[in-house]
């Protein structure tokens, strides 16, 4: 099946997806974490994170999310700073629930390049059905606060965007 693939990759990856936590504060209907837990809840340790980063000197882009909510990791800002010191473009997706004003400022100061806020619903009812928590108004408010914080600090980054997973429940 994989006979045509080399045993050793010809080059180190330029982009790495690093799942820094598998913990989450949402109950999304599209997430396997909501329905079945196959692994214990945990965060990557600082030592393991450094090992991954230091083992990949060709990395120029790091995506700090997977199945969990990155804002729940207590070392997130330290990780961003560590990557930025190596001139790595850093981004992650968040549900935005924990995007409080002090965290907004810290993400800007740490040098985060891109922040993707997952919504999946344009109404509170659709958001709740898909994301599993009644937080649309809170996430919209925190997103607007992030824009205001950037303006107040004259910050161009992080670049903000909203992400939606298209499905029958939210396409209309």
CA distance 128 to 76: 27
Token readout for 111 is: 């040098």
pLDDT tens-place string over residues 110-148: 999 999 998 888 889 988 988 888 999 999 999 999 999
Q: Most distant CA pair in the chain: distance in Å?
A: 56
| pLDDT of 96 above 90 | yes
Residue 157 predicted with pLDDT over 90? yes
pLDDT value at residue 2: 65
**What's the order of all strands across the beta sheet hosting 89-94?**
15-17, 61-63, 89-94, 114-118, 159-163
Q: What is the mean pLDDT of the chain?
A: 91
pLDDT at 100 over 70: yes
Q: Is the pLDDT of residue 37 over 90?
A: no
């Amino acid at each position: 099946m994989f006979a045509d693939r080399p045993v050793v990759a010809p080059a180190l990856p330029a982009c790495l997806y690093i799942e820094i936590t598998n913990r989450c504060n949402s109950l999304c209907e599209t997430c396997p974490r909501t329905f079945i837990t196959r692994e214990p809840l945990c965060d990557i340790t600082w030592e393991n994170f450094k090992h991954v980063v230091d083992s990949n000197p060709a990395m120029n882009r790091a995506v700090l999310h997977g199945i969990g909510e990155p804002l729940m990791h207590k070392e997130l800002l330290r990780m961003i700073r560590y990557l930025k010191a190596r001139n790595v473009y850093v981004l992650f997706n968040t549900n935005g629930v924990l995007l409080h004003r002090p965290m907004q400022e810290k993400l800007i100061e740490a040098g985060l390049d891109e922040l993707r806020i997952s919504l999946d619903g344009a109404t509170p009812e659709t958001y709740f059905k898909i994301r599993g928590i009644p937080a649309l108004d809170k996430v919209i408010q925190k997103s607007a606060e992030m824009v205001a914080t950037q303006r107040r600090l004259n910050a161009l980054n992080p670049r903000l965007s909203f992400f939606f997973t298209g499905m029958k429940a939210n396409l209309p």
